[in-house]
A and B are shown apart, each in its own frame.
Chain A
Amino acid sequence: MDRRTTIKWMLAASAAWPARRAAAGEAAPGAALLRPPAAPGYGADPDLVTSHKRGEFWPLTLSAAQRRLAAVLSDLIIPADEHSPSASSVGVVDFIDEWVSAPYPTQQRDRPIVLNGFAWLDAEGARRAGKAFADLETAGQTAICDEIASAARAQPERRDAARFFALYRDLTAAAFYSSAAGRADLGYIGNVPLTKFEGAPPELLKKLNLI
């Protein structure tokens, strides 16, 4: 998304909820916040063998309201089920905060899409029910998500919002499936030292008609 589109979208979003601006607008970004504070990044020679905390290399920048919305939306995308916990319970919000606060080109490109998307969701909640998105009933939240969950099927005026949703779903999935809970959910059993590698099980190959 280029800068012109960003500004156009931002104005459209804020214009949609003038009445509830003070209450719902906490999650709305100001123009200055669309860029994270300058940070050098982790450099070309970071320590690779110690664990790193989110926020260690550059400050996290989402507000409390934005983080609350991020958690609600992440859990709509990846809720708890019988196999694994919900996205927000395994640190997905911290991951997304780290992502949109990072000083690199991809992340800086994503930041306004995410922040404007948050603002759009709040504006849409305000327009429909006079509430911030996070305060809507689940049915109200999914009604909005249903309209933007597919970029291919979204109405033309929802296309930017659908692009935001696709990105946010990717980021939520990136964080969730990078976690131990995500690995377990997928039945991943690698990343352990073996003395011998057996290859594909013969019974499975037979079943698939591969031997």
Chain B
Amino acid sequence: MPFVTPKSQQRTYDVIVVGSGAAGGQTAYTLCMEGARVLMLEAGRRYRPESETPMFQTPDLAPLGGVGTPQKPFGFYDATIDGGWQVPGEPYVRTTEDHGGRFDWWRARMLGGRTNHWGRISLRNGPYDLKPRSRDGLGFDWPISYADVAPYYDKVELLIGVYGSNEGLENTPNSPPGCLLPPPRPIVSDYLIAQRARRLGIPAIPGHRAVLTRALDHTRNPRRLHPDNGKAQKILAADMQSRAPCLWATPCGRGCSIRANYQSTTVHLPPALATGNLDIATDAMVYEVTLGPDGHATGVSFVDRTTGRHEHASARVVVLAASACESARILLNSKSAHFPDGLANSSGKVGRYLMDTVGSDVSGQVPLLESLPPLNEDAADGHQLYTPWWLYREQLAGKLGFARGYHIEFGGGKRMPGPGTGAGLEWLTGGSYGAKFKQDVRRYYGSFVYFSGRGEMIPNENSYCEIDPGGVKDKWGIPVLRFHWKWSEHETRQAAHMQRTFADLIEAMGGKPEKVETDGAKAIAPGGLIIHEVGGAIMGADPRVSVTNQWCQTWDVPNLFVTDGAVFASNADKNPTLTIMAIAWRASDHILGRMRRKEL
């Protein structure tokens, strides 16, 4: 009985995994495939992508044309359930509402968490990204190098399916043969952007996204992933055969009922459940890790949201994978005589060094793309091409005024018309209406391009979360987080550089940027807006200044692990999800080894 309630769950498990997203899904997958008995606790409701995904629904079928509202911030058809930057009954506090000092915390309360709606961009951290302090003296080095993580990037790519290409560019790692799926073909605007970017010395290469451009190799991949495990190979082979490749339509952010892209619910959980080793309890809001007299974690306490009752579950090992800030919150709320400031917090670093991604966008209109013939440009839902950071040498030579890089996500094309298609055109039309307006909309449709910079933030002492000293609690009575946030000039100057670069790119296409903000402090998106928050329980080599070791094992409690983004010691420009999965897989292998040796 894979889906359980507090009444039907077993008395004890090998491992409790808190959270069911990228980290929880990967952790449970790795553990269950290798025979461990796992209880997964998810705060949100059960979610069935195969029947709940709005594939092909057009905007006229949705209220308000499907535009975002506070109840569905990414639009009506976005996969997120009971989530967003505000979750009713589950507040958080911040020290300021100011643009530069605020932090907005995105959560989802559903099985699979944020993996159901994420952008699927799957970039590997490079060698510099794991040793940034060694390179430029700022931030922290990870206690592991690229060589330690590389085999796990390989595994994750083979399991979930990632398209891309190997270009051999600096700090932009290649994957070994057979790991990547072929990239999708570019659309017209991709060709134009790439051509003009090259003239400016800016590369444009195939993107990497967790979308199946063809079926996964179900004979080879399972053998590579589980070499000595026939049962795991058989389960995974069957599961891979039931995932369909992309049908080149309907946005990935809605989720995918044919399982053509990665979501924890469609990729990690089905094979893990098929082993019979995974029990999942949804609506289980974990708030505390319980500690035994021997200093070992005994399990977790949670609120059953369906009954409001407080429950407990026990296991040999506890893994927090609840998302960076939620995992930090659980640790900080797990107070005892031995750990008065929160569990595993002898360093005082739990909640510290929160990082998001630096984000800044410019869009523009390009006459060369006007009035093109009808084209199906749904493609892979964007990100056929992208630009990795390209100014490593200039940056290291101190020529840029900021220490870390960014990549560029860009796009255009004749996307499905919707509420935004004919809106806000007055800057181009001069205010036409009537027959002329209809002609204008036809002319401009498909002629817009956007550039989104996604850059590295360096951890600092002023960006952190703590339990709210004002005593605010959520509707379950659990103390909430208070956020502190501050950008350094490394981030704001980077945002200004993005704006200038994107304006140059649009002008190189013969186009007109809509709005360019040269003040980096205004151009930078507020903390949390890019939803790449990591840190809060960083890994390190020194227990005095980090929360976990390189295996995601807390220094203070030997059978307590954190496998989500909380352990990131830096937040490279590369989107964090692929790295979260690679780190979680590596930690899970370590947990399995220790359990086999009876050390856990």
> Footprint of B on A, CB under 8 Å?
41-46, 48-49, 51-52, 54, 56-57, 76-79, 81, 83-84, 91, 95, 98-99, 102, 104-107, 142, 145, 149-153, 165-166, 169-170, 173-180, 182-183, 185-201, 204-205, 208, 210-211
Taking CB atoms, residues of chain A closer than 8 Å to B434 are 76-79, 142
Q: Please choose the segment from B80-88, B478-486, B562-570 that sits at the chain A interface, where 4 or more of its residues have CB less than 8 A away.
A: B80-88
- Contacts between the two chains (Cβ within 8 Å), count: 219
Q: Are B437 and A169 in contact (CB under 8 A)?
A: yes
Q: Are B431 and A79 in contact (CB under 8 A)?
A: no
Q: Are A48 and B185 in contact (CB under 8 A)?
A: no
Taking CB atoms, residues of chain A closer than 8 Å to B53 are 48-49
Q: Please choose the segment from B140-148, B247-255, B318-326, B592-600 that sits at the chain A interface, where 4 or more of its residues have CB less than 8 A away.
A: B247-255
Q: Are B71 and A43 in contact (CB under 8 A)?
A: yes
Taking CB atoms, residues of chain A closer than 8 Å to B415 are 190
Known contacts A77-B437, A188-B416, A190-B376; is-contact A173 B54 (Cβ 8 Å)? no
Q: How far is it, in angstroms, between the C-alpha of A49 and the C-alpha of B374 when the chains are bound? A: 28
Q: Give the nearest-CB partner of B59 in chain A.
A: A178
Known contacts A48-B76, A98-B64; is-contact A190 B249 (Cβ 8 Å)? yes
B402-452 at interface with A (beta carbon < 8 Å): 414-426, 430-435, 437-438, 441-442, 445
With beta carbons under 8 angstroms apart, the residue of A42, A152, A169 that contacts B71 is A42
* Apart from A186-B445, A188-B416, 4 more pairs, CB < 8 Å: A49-B54, A77-B437, A183-B416, A194-B247
With beta carbons under 8 angstroms apart, the residue of B81, B419, B437 that contacts A174 is B419
A-B contact pairs, 16 of them (CB 8 A): A44-B82, A48-B53, A104-B70, A106-B67, A149-B431, A174-B423, A178-B421, A179-B60, A185-B441, A188-B374, A188-B414, A189-B375, A191-B416, A197-B379, A200-B375, A204-B375
Q: Are B426 and A52 in contact (CB under 8 A)?
A: no
With beta carbons under 8 angstroms apart, the residue of A51, A81, A182 that contacts B417 is A182
Q: How far is it, in angstroms, between the C-alpha of A73 and the C-alpha of B188 when the chains are bound? A: 36
Q: Are A199 and B184 in contact (CB under 8 A)?
A: yes
Min CB–CB distance B213 → chain A (angstroms): 8
| Per-position binary interface string of chain B over residues 287-298, scored 1 when its CB falls under 8 Å from any chain A CB and 0 otherwise | 000000000000
Majority SS at the chain A contact face = loop
Q: Are A48 and B77 in contact (CB under 8 A)?
A: yes
Q: Are B377 and A190 in contact (CB under 8 A)?
A: yes
Taking CB atoms, residues of chain A closer than 8 Å to B374 are 187-189
Q: How far is it, in angstroms, between the C-alpha of A91 and the C-alpha of B52 when the chains are bound? A: 27
Q: Are A177 and B417 in contact (CB under 8 A)?
A: yes
Q: Are A48 and B54 in contact (CB under 8 A)?
A: yes
Min CB–CB distance B79 → chain A (angstroms): 8
> Footprint of A on B, CB under 8 Å?
45, 51-54, 56-67, 69-72, 76-77, 81-84, 87-88, 184-188, 190-192, 195, 246-250, 254, 368, 372-380, 384, 414-426, 430-435, 437-438, 441-442, 445
Min CB–CB distance A208 → chain B (angstroms): 7
In order of increasing CB-CB distance, the 7 nearest A-B pairs are A199-B185, A173-B422, A150-B431, A187-B374, A174-B419, A193-B247, A170-B423
Q: How far is it, in angstroms, between the C-alpha of A52 and the C-alpha of B62 when the chains are bound? A: 6
Min CB–CB distance A205 → chain B (angstroms): 6
Q: How far is it, in angstroms, between the C-alpha of A174 and the C-alpha of B424 when the chains are bound? A: 10
Q: Are A81 and B375 in contact (CB under 8 A)?
A: no
Min CB–CB distance A189 → chain B (angstroms): 5
Q: How far is it, in angstroms, between the C-alpha of A200 and the C-alpha of B379 when the chains are bound? A: 10
Known contacts A201-B375, A210-B195; is-contact A178 B419 (Cβ 8 Å)? yes
Q: Give the nearest-CB partner of B384 in chain A.
A: A199
Taking CB atoms, residues of chain A closer than 8 Å to B45 are 45
Q: Are B416 and A49 in contact (CB under 8 A)?
A: no
Q: How far is it, in angstroms, between the C-alpha of A193 and the C-alpha of B70 when the chains are bound? A: 31
Q: Are A200 and B185 in contact (CB under 8 A)?
A: yes
Q: How far is it, in angstroms, between the C-alpha of A82 and the C-alpha of B216 when the chains are bound? A: 47
With beta carbons under 8 angstroms apart, the residue of A49, A83, A151, A176 that contacts B57 is A49
Q: How far is it, in angstroms, between the C-alpha of A133 and the C-alpha of B420 when the chains are bound? A: 28
Q: How far is it, in angstroms, between the C-alpha of A149 and the C-alpha of B431 when the chains are bound? A: 5
Taking CB atoms, residues of chain A closer than 8 Å to B423 are 170, 173-174
Q: How far is it, in angstroms, between the C-alpha of A190 and the C-alpha of B418 when the chains are bound? A: 13
Q: How far is it, in angstroms, between the C-alpha of A104 and the C-alpha of B571 when the chains are bound? A: 35
Q: How far is it, in angstroms, between the C-alpha of A180 and the C-alpha of B373 when the chains are bound? A: 19
Q: How far is it, in angstroms, between the C-alpha of A152 and the C-alpha of B61 when the chains are bound? A: 34
Q: Are B249 and A151 in contact (CB under 8 A)?
A: no
Taking CB atoms, residues of chain A closer than 8 Å to B247 are 193-195
Q: How far is it, in angstroms, between the C-alpha of A123 and the C-alpha of B537 when the chains are bound? A: 63
Q: How far is it, in angstroms, between the C-alpha of A150 and the C-alpha of B433 when the chains are bound? A: 10
Chain A CB within 10 A, most for which of B195, B250, B375: B375
Q: Are A102 and B188 in contact (CB under 8 A)?
A: no
Q: Are B438 and A78 in contact (CB under 8 A)?
A: yes
Q: Are A178 and B191 in contact (CB under 8 A)?
A: no
Q: Are B51 and A49 in contact (CB under 8 A)?
A: yes
Known contacts A174-B65, A178-B59; is-contact A204 B373 (Cβ 8 Å)? yes
Taking CB atoms, residues of chain A closer than 8 Å to B51 are 49
Q: How far is it, in angstroms, between the C-alpha of A185 and the C-alpha of B442 when the chains are bound? A: 8
Q: Are A178 and B431 in contact (CB under 8 A)?
A: no
Q: How far is it, in angstroms, between the C-alpha of A83 and the C-alpha of B438 when the chains are bound? A: 9
Min CB–CB distance A170 → chain B (angstroms): 4
Q: Are B69 and A170 in contact (CB under 8 A)?
A: no
Q: Are A189 and B417 in contact (CB under 8 A)?
A: no
Taking CB atoms, residues of chain A closer than 8 Å to B65 are 95, 174-175, 178
Q: Give the nearest-CB partner of A181 in chain B.
A: B60
Q: How far is it, in angstroms, between the C-alpha of A151 and the C-alpha of B425 when the chains are bound? A: 12
Q: Give the nearest-CB partner of B213 in chain A.
A: A197
Q: How far is it, in angstroms, between the C-alpha of A194 and the C-alpha of B88 when the chains are bound? A: 40
Q: Are B71 and A105 in contact (CB under 8 A)?
A: no
Min CB–CB distance B165 → chain A (angstroms): 14
Q: Are A173 and B441 in contact (CB under 8 A)?
A: yes
Q: Are B380 and A197 in contact (CB under 8 A)?
A: yes
Min CB–CB distance A183 → chain B (angstroms): 5
Known contacts A46-B76, A83-B438, A208-B192; is-contact A197 B81 (Cβ 8 Å)? no
